[in-house]
Structures are given as structure tokens and as C-alpha cells.
Chains A and B, each alone.
Chain A
Amino acid sequence: MAETKPDTPPMIEVNHLTKYYGGRPAIQDLSFTVPHGEIVGFLGPNGAGKSTTMRILAGFLSATEGTARVAGHDVATDSEAVRRRVGFMPENNPLHDDMRVREYLKFRARLKGLDRPTSRDRVEDVVEQFDLGQVQGRMIGELSKGFRQRVGLADALVHEPEILILDEPTIGLDPHQIRTVRQHIKELGKNHTVLISSHILPEVEVTCSRLLIFHEGTVVANNTPRGLEQSLGGHHRITVELQAPQDALHEAWEEMAEIEHHRILPAEGDFSRCALTPRDGEDLRPRVSALARARGWPLRELTRERHTLEDIFVHITREDDD
């Protein structure tokens, strides 16, 4: 990987990892590396192998074939060292409903090998960090989903792990809670390597510095969100609504060399709606707005189409087929 400095080994190194469940492969010949200090998004539909990969990296499952190293330790032969360095929040964030928040965090800290004074300090820290002070004496079973999620994050972080693995951390939350959790994850990304999984693209592309795209048990892309965009660049269409004669518009788009293809449709009022496809992934918006200003054409919409997860899958899997 180009970003990895030669003197620091990658945080996660996965080589030809395969896991069979009762004869069926959940992941197959998976290989990727993740450098230090990145927030990495595992993106893919349900059943693509995200959770299985996370469970192996967290030391819960063993792979059928292949190796995986986390923070320089092999997950199969040095599992305890890996588990000491990983904070894991499984899917659906399971917690002991019959315990109180503070008592639970203390129990988890002790279980993760912290001594009594350290665990007391760390619980104090995470309670403050995730703003759990007001619920620390409450039963976990009585908490709202947003608070449960924060308790889960606090637990994952209580032993100061180097790497956090969070399986679908925002699933089932309302938009406000999602924003809070997202902020926490971004904050954590400053000092930790963070792995999160999701099947929603906008969910991960705003938080992650790297995206791994899973498809049928393999990683089909491992890139920065920008890099992914660029690899799909040719498909970025611009939509613009202008008040101008259709002939003049037609002429203007023909003249602009960066436009490969255009289409003009009449819109509400005297406006026309144009769909412009750029030649090589260039962002046409500055050119178009400059043109409208120069000609004195009123402009009421100028948008660049965003790629959806579907686009990416279609694009990538089509490439594979060719």
C-alpha cells in the first residue's frame, strides 16, 4: 500500500482469508491491508461477509484458511494479544440487560484485564466521554437505543484498544442518534484505527477515510472515497436548470469541449432542464455557472449526481464480468 510507511507495519493485514460455514463459503480468498489511524468502512449488502470478517479480526471465529494479523499479532496463534488490542462491538450491540451501566462497564474493564484502580479511572473516563453520567445507575434494559449504543461504544473503548471494530454501529437509530454516534466515531478516529460496517453508502462515506467494498465474500474495492469516485468519474452527470432558449443552450453545450453528451428537456416555467455528461470525470459546475452568469441566464438548479452503492456495485461487478 502506497500510504504505509515502510517502518510501520499495517494495522490489519489479511491474506487469502477463507471461512466456510457448513460447506458454504462466507468469505473467500480475502486479502487486504489497513494502515494505522484510518477510519475504514466495510461496505456491502447483507451476507457479503462483513460480519464474518469482523468476527475473525476480533478473535471470535477462526478462519478456515489464510491468515490475518491485527497490530502485528496473528489472530489464530496469538488471539489473546489481539483481543487485548481490539475493542469490538458486535452487530445489534448485545449488552447484559440485568446490570446497571456503571457496574457493567466496571465488570467489562476487569474482564479485559485492567486492575481495580485503572478500571475505576477508565470507567470514569468513558462515562464522561460518552455523556453517560445521568444514566450510570440505571439498568441497561431500561435504556433507550441511543444510550445503549453509547454504552456499547464505552465498553469497546474502556481498555484503551488500538483498534475499534464496530459492526453496524448506527443500525436502528433515529437520525439524531445516528449523528451523535457518527460524531463519536469521527472523534475516535483521531487516535484509533476504526473499522465500521454498513450497507448504506452515505453512512460510511462521510465518516471513513477508506472504503472496502464487499461483494459475495470478497473485497472488490479498497480505496479512499475520493479514489472510488474517481474510478467511477466518467459517470458523474450534471443537472442544470436554466431560463434560456433551447437553441442557445444546445449551441452552448456543443461548444463546451468537456461535455461528452447532453440532453435538454423543457421544465416548469420557461426553464429547461439539461443533463450533461462530462468527458473525463471533471466537475463541470464552475464552468456552467460562469456561462450562466456571462449570458445573463437565470439559474435555479445546478447539481452533480452522486453515486449510490448500487452504481458502485453495478460498475464493479460489470468490470469483473468483462
Chain B
Amino acid sequence: MTALLTLARRELAGHFFSLRGYVIMAGVQLLLGASLLTVVYLLNGLAYDLPFTEKFPQTEFFWLVLLMVAPVITMRTFAHEKASGTFETLMTTPVSDIQVVMAKFIGSYVFFLIAFLPTVIYPFLLEHYAHEALKVDPGAVWSLALGIGLYGAFFMALGCFASSLTRSQIVAAVLTFAVGTGLFILGYLADLRPTEVQWWHHLVQHISMLRHMQDFSTGIVDSRHVMFYLSLTAVFLFFTLKSLESRRWK
């Protein structure tokens, strides 16, 4: 347990040893802030049928930031240690493989949460400064935060796995981005209106991240969605563990 915490703390602190962590946090907030302003400007004076908490997660800006940030945070986790050789000094301490995987994941995930934390106050800021007709439902805000948190867990696990496969950070980043974005795009197929419904229509209905986020943003916490992200997180952490163990039987 001590080793896990020590390692997770270093993993998190590693983001702040150089400018990297600050640049990522600033980038996330700058882009989300700019998106917020744009949305507010576009909606200004218009009667709109959706509450803001529901509208914002449907914009392209929001997803752009979400899909870009995962590879940037996780690409270093294993690839950098393998390239620099510190992977060897790490794996020859009396730390188990699963502790290493969990520490890398926790370090990345906590950083992800820190980077997105200020976003929670956006709706309340709007409420404070906008016309009194604008009312924010705190329940919807929290369920949206839960949605982003679950999404983050899955993407950090995916990123750790990609990073464990290679010693190149670029390869790890591209892999994470491609798989994550691919899955996101697949969700768009759910909007097709086919003449004949086939089995894969049902499948894409279930994996559409856009729809999941829509539910979360309206305050619906569907246990199917929660399980979807939690199980994917577990699966990719398991893959990461196997990838680490592969050095023994390769």
C-alpha cells in the first residue's frame, strides 16, 4: 500500500515537475472557457429549448477537448520509462505489477480530474451573471460531472494500455486518440434511421458516448452507462497488467 501511494504520488507530481502539467491544465481551461463563451454568444437573445448543462456537452468543442486530453496526459506513463530505462529500476523494486498499473492509472486520473475541476463552476457562473430566467439544476451538474469522471476513467485506462505497448510517446498518443475517437465516431451510427434494424444498430445504441453524455447532462444516471465505463476501465487496466507481465514470457 505504501509503495502504491508513493508511486501514485510521484506519478501525479511528475506532471508538475516541468511545465507540462501546467500547460495541459491551462490548455483545457482555455479551450473549454472559449467554447463556453462561443456558446453563450451564439445563444444570446435566442429562445432555446435546452438548458445550458444539456447544450454544452453536445458541442464539438467539448468533445474535442475531451478526446485530445487523454492521450496527452497518459502518453508518458509507461513509454517514457521504457525509453529512458527507468522502467527497469522500477520493476526491480519489490513492487507488484498490479501496484504499478494502479499507481500509473491513479496518477493520471487524479490529474485529469484536477484539470477538469474548474468546469463544474461554469453553469453557476452563468447563472450568476445571466438573466434571472436562467436556472441551473445542480442535480444535472453533478450527474454531468459524474459522466465526465466516468469517461475520464475509461480514457486514462485506455491511454495507460497504449503507453504500455510502446517506448514511443507519440505512438502511444496516436493510438489512444485513434481508438478513443474511433469509438466516439462509431456512436454516431446510432443516429442512423435504417429501414431494416440489424443487430449492430442495437450495439451502437449502447456504445454511443454522445448519448451517454446526453443522459448524464439531463440528470439521468443510468446504471447501464455507469457499468459501461467502469467495465471498460477494468478491461483496459487488465490489458495493461498483461502487457506489463509480457516481459516475462515474451
A contact residues vs B (CB 8 Å cutoff): 21-22, 55, 58-62, 80-81, 83-84, 86, 88-92, 94-99, 107-108, 110-113, 115, 155
Q: Are A111 and B247 in contact (CB under 8 A)?
A: no
Q: Is B198 an interface residue (CB 8 A)?
A: no
Most buried by B among A84, A90, A111: A111
Q: Are B7 and A111 in contact (CB under 8 A)?
A: yes
Can you list 26 A-B contacts with CB-CB less than 8 angstroms, sorted by A residue number? A58-B92, A60-B92, A60-B247, A61-B247, A62-B249, A80-B96, A81-B94, A83-B92, A84-B94, A88-B89, A89-B89, A90-B88, A94-B85, A94-B88, A94-B89, A95-B89, A98-B14, A98-B18, A99-B17, A108-B93, A110-B3, A111-B3, A111-B90, A113-B2, A113-B94, A115-B2
What chain B residues lie within 8 Å of A83 (beta carbons)? Answer: 92-94
What chain B residues lie within 8 Å of A91 (beta carbons)? Answer: 85
CB distance from B142 to the nearest CB of A (A): 36
- Interface 1/0 per residue, B94-111 and A, CB below 8 Å: 111000000000000000
Select which of B85, B86, B92, B250 is within 8 A of A86 by beta carbon: B92
The prevalent SS among residues of A at the interface is loop
Number of inter-chain CB pairs below 8 Å: 65
Q: In the complex, A55→B248 CA distance in Å?
A: 11
Q: Are A94 and B14 in contact (CB under 8 A)?
A: no
Closest 10 CB pairs of A and B: A94-B85, A62-B248, A98-B17, A110-B6, A90-B88, A83-B94, A88-B92, A84-B94, A94-B86, A58-B92
Interface size class of B (residues with CB under 8 A): 20 to 34
CB distance from A105 to the nearest CB of B (A): 12
Q: In the complex, A168→B247 CA distance in Å?
A: 22
Sample of 7 further A-B pairs with CB below 8 A, known A21-B250, A97-B84, A111-B6: A22-B250, A59-B92, A60-B91, A90-B85, A91-B85, A98-B17, A111-B95
